[in-house]
Structure 1
């Protein structure tokens, strides 16, 4: 069975957030549209697989790379040679960079090829990865940045009232973070992603202020994010567990991150770092270093499903799944993947387990 076609599908879906967004690395202030890039791979036997790459403002570059470089290289190749394709194409195009558009594009296609493999075998991907006893996983509501104590209180309470017992903040102001922790109350676990804003010294000063809040982790506190030695210093002296990895793009990046002793939680993002094929390897590497994997999944489509299957099979029942708390106007999978009482179901159908709603694809497709 061979790859017959690869199609890139940009989607733009309006959303609300319980108040105006303060902006962040994902987009401007008052952002009200979320852009994603879904990839459709069709085989010569008519089996269709779906993948997803990192979206937002990265979409035009990734779309060009897939359409003009990766797709021509991959059409006609054997769909079962996922790992060989991954290695060959990473090597062939390394001069264009070991991160960004090329790796993102490979990631989406790899997820689609796993979807095809599961459909051909009649099994969900988590079974192809070794199986799991978990039929659902705890999800954490990943909030936007509000930068306002009152808005964060309202939205934390909204998330808690809808059943979430794990929350992720994207705030950088200690007063706002403190307000969120107070609003959450006892029994709700808070993590904090600050998106790499500070020097090591600044990060240590901030962890001193934040230490009394008992955060489960602080995510990417150091700029640049590849300063693994600096990250290790924050981990050693900051008094808060450290998480990182969404900006690591290859297996070597994760090896360097782990060898530096930089993290308590490592966060591969399957739609950015090579798909499910590379995700398996990061789990093995993390296990060898005694570090917990918490898959990054700031997505709503096949990238999210890939994270759910990988987490269930490779991480087990104690894994957490990131749920983008965006109140989308339309969901690619309807209500099939929406968390209930703070838990997200592990899909049981073949491949990724759920098919995208073609009406959503038709109605929200756009030209970047």
Structure 2
């Protein structure tokens, strides 16, 4: 069945985060914005996707509305592999990582949702999985720059049932504050520094953290493409994770061949969609590299991550940003209960957005790209 229309829209959700709202890429970050992609086929079936994301939404949305969606309307919605090859090749001169790959990722997720709905099968089954069980999540705390807030939010997350906590800080003092927080004695503590250090600085910091029992150290090296520098950090004995900024399958192949990572972190809304994510997971499994998906978002991309992790990972661990949204159109599937995530069982992604919540929190007007009718 052919794609009749592709529509983008944005919902903006107020949230609290246990501390003052930070800047994100230089912009105030006090609302969680989701770039939704709706794909309709000629017979009226609708699939939902999510394209990355956050302060990059204007760029990603422009890539969809002006380039990627016009290339895809009128094409066979079920021929995902051919679309993946042809569309990504068609825009590769515009960048193999960034808005155009994010744009395709969002549409591709919606195509899988359509495929599941048309076949009457949930995504986890299409991916070869068995009946899913609840999966453990980890609380991904935001940046506070305040050890007292780190300790308080770590304690609150443990009290909420999380048994793994990730910090977005850059000091050993923050790690120690989390480690000694009430309830955290048995919790796994991870540290994500978002590429804060040069390779020599990262080696020195890793040495100072070596005896603090970190479950992993995430993206310690700037720039993230420095695979050799990243590999040196593993000498500290702390497991190293990375991958949210990697360009697709061959980007992960480079990291693996350099011996740079213990844990790979592909992001379905950034890497090229579900099929690319599936290939990345299979590559990592073939080389004995663990996979912990990057998923700091709360729309169809997050739900797709649940299906992927349930179907393909032996020991899934789901990233959930530690914040409280005023509402979400994909409730309850985007919220952890006692530190665990459930997977929808309906066809496709298994859940469509609540239309009232969409309408209430929408910002701006949707943009619709439709197939041109022959004269």
TM value normalised by structure 2: 0.94
Within-5 A mapping of 1:43-82: 43-82=41-80
Residue-pair matches, total: 364
User: Separation in 2 of the partners of 1:171 and 1:191?
Assistant: 10
In 1: Cα distance, 2:329 partner to 2:166 partner? 23
Of 339, 342, 347 in structure 1, the residue corresponding to residue 344 of structure 2 is: 347
Q: Tell me if 1:195 matches 2:225.
A: no
Work out whether residues 24 and 145 of structure 1, in 8 Å CA contact, stay in contact via their aligned partners in 2: no
- Aligned mates of 1:133, 1:127 — CA distance in 2: 8
1:337 is the counterpart of 2:321: no
Cα distance, 1:238 vs structure 2: 2.1
Give 1:24 shift: 5.1
2:19 corresponds to: 19
Shift of 1:23: 3.8
Contact 2:217 2:240 in 1 (8 A): yes
Cα 1:288–1:76 change in 2 (3 A) is: same
**Runs (5+) with no aligned partner, structure 2:** 366-375
1:150-299 to structure 2, matched below 5 A, reads 150-183=148-181, 184-235=183-234, 237-299=235-297
Instruction: Tell me if structure 1 keeps the 8 A contact 2:299–2:334.
Output: no
The aligned residue for residue 131 of structure 1 is 129
| Residue pair 1:347, 1:354 contacting (<8 A) in 2 also | yes
Distance 1:227 1:151 in 2: 32
User: Runs of 4 or more off by more than 3 Å in structure 1?
Assistant: 21-25
Which residue number corresponds to residue 353 of structure 2? 356
Query: Secondary structure of the equivalent of 2:209?
Result: helix
1:157 and 1:349 map into 2 onto residues whose CA distance is: 35
Distance 1:336 1:262 in 2: 33
1:2 equivalent in structure 2: 2
Matches of 2:338 and 2:222 in 1, distance apart?
A: 36
Q: Residues of 2 paired with 1:300 and 1:104: CA distance?
A: 16
Does the 8 Å CA contact 1:22/1:147 hold for their aligned counterparts?
no
Q: Is the 8 A contact 2:27 2:55 kept in 1?
A: no
Q: Deviations over 1:275-332 (max 9, x none)?
A: 101011001111121101111101101010111100010103x210111112011112
Q: Could you report, residue by residue, the CA deviation over 1:12-50 in whole angstroms, capped at 9, with x for unpaired residues?
A: 11111111134455x646x31122211011111111111
Unaligned runs of 5+ in 1: none
